[in-house]
Amino acid sequence: MRNLKVMTAYRGTKYHGFQRQANALTVQQVLEEKLSKVLNEPVTIIGCSRTDTGVHANQFCFNVRTNSNIRTLGFTRGVNGELPDDISILSCEDVPLDFHARFDCKGKEYIYKMHCSESKNPFASDLMLHYRRKFDVDAARKAASYFVGTHDFASFCADCTNVSTTVRTIYSFDIEYNGDSVIMLVKGNGFLYNMIRIMAGTLIDVSEKRLSPDDMPDILAARDRLRAGRTAMAHGLYLNRVFYDEAELLK
């Protein structure tokens, strides 16, 4: 028995998230079907995270146990030859049998992309949020600075019923602004359901002066979803990197 650690990337537009569902097409379903064909045995993969409908991944890790003796390069080439154009295997390596893509993950980095212009970008309609106003990046950066550190993020969670704690640590929250493009880059040790999308939506509300940057401490302290801002659309969100080395995470 072998355990393979696999990095993949996918465009989430056509999929109802990563995790397999009974009545909807998901990334996990497609991957398991193609892996089973290449490995010549039925397999179940373990993903590092769940992503919502329409969310993308620049780097997503899963592990899979197999009896196949296929070489890792042969695995990468073989599976990529079977996958649709919107899912790609980036790398594959043998790891110890006890490696678990979700439980061994030390942290993640997400990005949220916005196209800020009256005119839509026909090349990014499903890849960036189209925001028709000028984005107040200075106010958003000030507000985002309050997210950095260890806090209770219950106000930024759509459904906290399935977690033992809503305390998370954000190591960095950077906002890049270039022309019509705004990119929010967030790194942390873990994230709650819809947490990034709610933080992004809250920063949009800050930009529109519906909220003040200095409201953020009170919103965090309230532990009330109704106190935070809107939930930004899913198609602007990407899982950008996953970390299994804590030193790499803290760089």
From the list 141, 151, 155, 251, the residue with the least C-alpha distance to 198 is 155
pTM for the model stands at 0.95
Q: What is the largest CA-CA distance in the chain?
A: 59
Query: What are 163-183's pLDDT values in tens digits?
Result: 899 999 999 999 999 989 999
> Is 245 an active-site residue?
no
State residue 50's pLDDT score.
87
Rounded Cα distance, 209 and 102, in Å: 38
State residue 162's pLDDT score.
86
Mean pLDDT by 10 residues, the chain (251 residues): 98 95 94 97 96 95 97 97 98 98 97 96 95 95 98 95 93 95 97 96 98 98 97 97 92 81
Domains of the chain as residue ranges with CATH: 2-95 (3.30.70.580), 107-249 (3.30.70.660)
State residue 176's pLDDT score.
96
Query: What are 44-86's pLDDT values in tens digits?
Result: 999 999 889 999 999 999 999 999 999 999 999 999 999 999 9
State residue 248's pLDDT score.
87
Active-site annotation holder among 52, 136, 205, 215 = 52
